[in-house]
Amino acid sequence: MKPMKNLHEFLISPGEAARQHGPKDCIVMSSRVRLARNLRNAAFPTWAKKLERVRVLDAILPAVRDLPEMVDSFAEPMDTLSPLDRQILVERHLISREHAAKSTGSGLVLNRAETFSVMINEEDHLRMQALRPGFQIREVWQAIDRLDSALEQKLPYAFDSELGYLTACPTNLGTGIRVSAMLHLPGLVLAEQITPIISSVNKLGLAVRGLYGEGTEALGNVFQVSNQMTLGETESAIVERLEKVLAQIIEHEENARQTMLEKRPKVLFNCLGRAYGNLAYSHIISSKETMNQLSLLRLGVDMGLFPGAERALVDELFLVTQPAHLQKLLSDKLTAEERDLARADMLRERLKVLPRPAMG
Amino acid sequence: MLCSICKERQATLHLTKIEGDKMQKLDLCDECAKANGMDDPSALMGADLTLGLGASLELDPGAKIAELKCSRCGFTQADFKKSGRLGCPECYVTFAQGLAEMLKPMHKGTRHVGKAPAALMAEREAADRLKTLEKKLARAIETEDFETAAAVRDQIKELKGAAPVKGG
C-alpha cells in the first residue's frame, strides 16, 4: 500500500521549520499539549486484535481528517510509511517513538502547518496533540481543546463521570492531558545547577525527560518538562501550574547565562570556541556529539557572541544532522560510520558562512 | 518470613504502605522483588502498581481475585501485571476495587473534575430529567391526578422525541 500523499512533499522543509518563531524561543523550543481519548466500544490498542484495531482506525481516521482544522492534511495508515519516514517524523517530534514502531491498524493525521498531530492507535485510540514554537502553553491547550470538542461530536468517547476519560494506562486517566515544553538549558548545565533544578521540579509533581521523551537522554541540553498527574485537577489548573514553573525555569536559565558571562567568561568562551571548532573543522562526527556541540553554538548565538550569525541556521542543522534526516537528504543507504563522515562534511560546508566567534 | 508472592522463598524486602488508618504489608524475596521491578527501593511506582492491583488484594482475605477477568475483553489481573495497561474501557469497572487503591498515590485526586464531553453531559441530563418525569407520572397516576399525568406524559413524549441519537 502506498500513501496518498508524499510525506516529503507535505512536510515543511527543515530550513523553513527552523525559521518559525515564538515567545521566549531562545529557551522554550516548543510547547505542546496532548490529550488521550478512547472509543467506548473497543479494546485499547495494545490489547485489541489486529481486526479490531483496523476497525477503530477506519472509524477514527476519516473523522479526524474531515475536521475543519485538518483541511488538506496528511492522513495515512502507518503501514504506508517506510521505517525511514517514520523515523523522520520522530526526529521532528510529530510522532512518538512508540508510534513509529506501530504498523497495521495505526495511523497519523497531520495538518499543513504541523501544529496538530493526531496519532491513532498508539497506546490509546487517540493521542491528539497541538504544538507550537516558543512558550505558548495556554494557546496550545486552547487549540487542542477545540479540536477535541469538535471530534467528540463525531466519536463516542469512553468517559466515566467519576474517572473522566478512560485511558489504557491508569497514569493518564481523568483529563488524559499531558502539557509539556521542550527547553534548551545549556546555561544551567554549564553552571552545574541543572540537577537541583530537576529535583525541585520533580518535587512539584512534574516530570523532566530527555529530547525524545520517556527514558531518553537530555541530548543537546534539551529537556522536556511535563505534568504527571491527570486525575483530580482541571486542565486549566495543570496548564497554569506548568506555566508558572516554566516561567521560573526560564528565569533561572537567563540568570545562569548572565552569571557565566560575568563571573566565568573564560570557561564559557572555552566551551563555545571548542564547539565552534569541532563543528566547523571535524571530518568524523557522531549525531550525539553534533547535538551537544550545536547546543553550545545556539547558546553562543543567543548570547550575541557570534555576531551576524542566525539561530535559524543552528536549528536547521540540529534537525538535518540527525540520522534519518541525513539519510534522506543523501538518499543513500549509509552505515553509521558513513553517516558520521557525511555529517561532518555537511557541517563544514554549512558553517562556512558562520563568522568566527567574537569573544574576549 | 516467606515471600507473599511465591510463598516459597525467604522474604528479604519488606514494604509497608500506610494510608489513613489502613496498613498493608508486602514481604518479597529477591526474585519476586526483581520480577515486580522493586529491586530498586526508589522505584516507588512499581510498589504502588503491585500493591494496587495485585498483591494487596491477595493479602486482603475479603477479596477473591484469583481469576478476575473482564467480561468484555477477557483481560486479567495477570495481564495487567505484565503490561501496566488495561484491556478496554470496561476493565475500569471489572478491576474497580484494585484500581481505587492504585489511583490514590498516583494522582492528585480520585475523582475527575476536568472537561467532559458536551454530548454526553446533555444525554445524561436528559436521562435524569426523564427519570424525574417518570416518577412524577407514577405519582400522578397513583393519586388519580389525571390532568397532571396527561401533561407529564406529553413532556416525556417530547423529551424522548428530542433525545440525541446515541453514538454507536
- The rounded mean pLDDT for chain B is 75
Strand segments, DSSP code E, in chain A are 28-37, 74-77, 107-110, 116-120, 126-133, 159-160, 164-165, 177-184, 206-209, 222-227
- Of A195, A223, A256, the one marking the end of a domain is A256
Query: Is A334 inside a domain boundary?
Result: yes
pTM: 0.80
- Domain co-membership, A293 together with A245: no
- Domain co-membership, A273 together with A250: no
CA distance A220 to A318: 9
pLDDT score at A218? 75
Residue recorded with cell 522554550: A28
Query: Is A359 inside a domain boundary?
Result: no
- Domain co-membership, A252 together with A268: no
- Domain co-membership, A249 together with A195: yes
- Domain co-membership, A204 together with A279: no
- Domain co-membership, A236 together with A344: no
- Of A212, A238, A256, the one marking the end of a domain is A256
HSE value, Cβ hemisphere, 13 Å, CA-based, for B160: 9
How crowded is residue B65: how many other Cβ atoms within 10 Å of its Cβ?
17
Q: How many CB pairs under 8 A join A and B?
A: 110
Query: Is A250 inside a domain boundary?
Result: yes
State which H helix or E strand residue A243 sits in: helix A235-263
Query: Is A235 inside a domain boundary?
Result: yes
CA distance A310 to A242: 30
- Of A239, A256, A273, the one marking the end of a domain is A256
Residue of A nearest to B108 (CA): A232
DSSP β-bridge partners for residue A133: A30
Tens-level pLDDT at each residue, chain A (360 residues): 667 788 988 999 999 999 999 999 999 999 999 999 999 999 999 999 999 999 999 999 999 999 999 999 999 999 999 999 999 999 999 999 999 999 899 999 999 999 999 999 999 999 999 999 999 999 999 999 999 999 999 999 999 989 999 999 999 999 999 999 999 999 999 999 999 999 999 999 899 988 766 666 678 999 999 999 999 999 999 999 999 999 999 999 999 999 999 999 999 999 999 999 999 999 999 999 999 999 999 999 999 998 888 999 999 999 999 999 999 988 778 899 999 999 999 999 999 988 888 776
Q: Does A145 touch chain B (CB under 8 A)?
A: yes
* pLDDT exceeds cutoff 60 at B46: no
pLDDT score at B55? 42
- Domain co-membership, A154 together with A282: no
Query: Is A32 inside a domain boundary?
Result: yes
For residue A216, give the CATH number of its domain: 3.30.590.10
**Mean pLDDT value across residues B147-164:** 82
Residue of B nearest to A233 (CA): B113
* pLDDT exceeds cutoff 90 at B23: no
* Domain housing A290: 264-353
The partner residue sitting opposite B110, judged by closest CB among A148, A168, A232, is A232
Residue of B nearest to A204 (CA): B108
Contact B111 A232 (CB under 8 A): yes
Contact A177 B119 (CB under 8 A): no
Q: A127, A36 in Cβ contact below 8 A?
A: yes
Percentage of the residues of chain B whose pLDDT score is greater than 90:
32
Strand pairing report for A116-120 and A126-133: antiparallel
CA distance A305 to A147: 42
- Domain co-membership, A334 together with A187: no
State which H helix or E strand residue B167 sits in: none
Query: Is A10 inside a domain boundary?
Result: no
Alpha carbon B1 to its chain centroid, in Å, reads 33
Residue of A nearest to B109 (CA): A232
Query: Is A5 inside a domain boundary?
Result: no
- Domain co-membership, A288 together with A237: no
Number of domains observed in the structure of chain A: 2
3-state DSSP assignment of residue A242: helix
* pLDDT tens digits for range B47-85: 444 444 544 444 344 444 457 899 999 999 889 988 999
Distances (CA, A) of B161 to A240, B147, B155, B156: 42, 22, 10, 8
- Domain co-membership, A243 together with A334: no
- Domain co-membership, A129 together with A55: yes
- Domain co-membership, A59 together with A100: yes
Cell reading at A188: 544551567
Q: A186, A295 in Cβ contact below 8 A?
A: yes
Residues of chain B in Cβ contact (below 8 Å) with chain A: 72-73, 75, 79, 83-89, 92, 99, 102-103, 106-120, 124, 166-168
pLDDT score at A114? 96
Query: Is A2 inside a domain boundary?
Result: no
